Amino acid sequence: MTPDEGIAACAGLVQRGDPARFRAVMAAPVPLRRMLFPLYAFNLEVARAPLVTKESMIAEMRLQWWRDALSEIAAGGPVRHHEVVTPLADVLDAQGARNLDDLIEARRADIEGLRPADANELTRYIDRTAGTLLWTAARLAGATDENAAREGGLAQGLANWLHAVPDLVARNRQPLPPGEPDMRMRELAQTGLDALARARSARVAKSARPVFLVLADTRARLRAIHRDPGAPVRETPFRDRLRLGLRSLRGW
């Protein structure tokens, strides 16, 4: 597999599995795309690992496979040949590999699918997954403000999580902390809006700003949930593309 073929394979995975991130990456400069597509393809594969089987042992083995791959990348030696691992090794440094290892460790919570004990437990999980992912991407692009990236990741992660609540409930999961569901969703949406405001008030290195285009529709999604938690989720690709275009012109 050539480097270009590896990037193309990762881009295809992201396009099919995470179209919103795909659109955001395509709005970034080409050099950043070559870093972001392997990173986001890795995130997809790890997120799926606990969900593709009902056998907890098999799910653990799948996650361990990815942890072993990151260990190889962090060591700086040969890495296994794989459509995602191979291009990821070309863009990820040792610190990034260690950070993403914690993301995988956090994903172990998805194997059992236990209900979050409280809002703090859920936001901690979101920070270790979506927050770590955005910080890793931003740092590799030249950002130095970890808090800003993690706040943005928390906002995006909460928007994604809250939009997924109906699907998770249909799978017999309890994705919200104890309490009245609509109230909990409004509280978490407000937490996301506050985090996004803090992220946008920070100064981000110019080279890393395109990474934050993934947040283009986050505010609108969180505000919709805060306004009416029970409303059906409506996909708005045209509006999402419009917001993305405006953000790419104005800065994230």
pLDDT at 249: 47
- Pair 76, 117: CB distance under 8 Å: no
Residue with tokens 């997924």: 164
**In a shared domain, residues 148 and 61:** no
Model confidence, pTM: 0.92
- Pair 133, 35: CB distance under 8 Å: no
**In a shared domain, residues 84 and 107:** yes
Tokens of 122: 């859920």
**In a shared domain, residues 143 and 106:** no
pLDDT at 49: 93
**In a shared domain, residues 132 and 19:** no
pLDDT at 164: 94
**In a shared domain, residues 87 and 157:** no
CA atoms of 40 and 88, how far apart (whole Å): 10
Consecutive 10-residue runs of the chain (252 residues): their mean pLDDT? 91 96 96 97 96 90 97 96 96 97 96 94 98 98 97 98 94 94 97 98 95 96 95 62 53 57
Tokens of 238: 């045209």
pLDDT at 54: 83
Helix, strand or coil, per DSSP, at residue 35: helix
**In a shared domain, residues 80 and 162:** no
Choosing from 112, 130, 164, the residue where a domain stops is: 112
Choosing from 62, 92, 112, the residue where a domain stops is: 112
List, in sequence order, the alpha helices (H) in the chain.
3-17, 19-26, 30-48, 56-75, 85-91, 94-107, 109-112, 119-126, 132-140, 146-163, 165-170, 181-201, 218-227, 237-250
Choosing from 45, 78, 112, the residue where a domain stops is: 112
Count, residues in the chain: 252
Residues 6+ apart with CB under 8 A from 24: 213, 214, 216, 244
- Pair 195, 151: CB distance under 8 Å: yes
**In a shared domain, residues 79 and 174:** no
Tokens of 231: 């409303």
**In a shared domain, residues 103 and 171:** no
Residue with tokens 């999402």: 240
pLDDT at 70: 98
By residue range, what is the domain housing residue 33? 1-112
**In a shared domain, residues 93 and 128:** no
CA atoms of 57 and 77, how far apart (whole Å): 29
Q: How many domains does the chain have?
A: 2
Residue with tokens 């459509």: 83
pLDDT at 149: 98
**In a shared domain, residues 119 and 212:** yes
**In a shared domain, residues 54 and 123:** no
**In a shared domain, residues 24 and 48:** yes
Residue 8's identity, in one-letter code, is A
- Pair 91, 114: CB distance under 8 Å: no
Angle CA(220)–CA(226)–CA(227) in degrees, nearest 5? Answer: 90
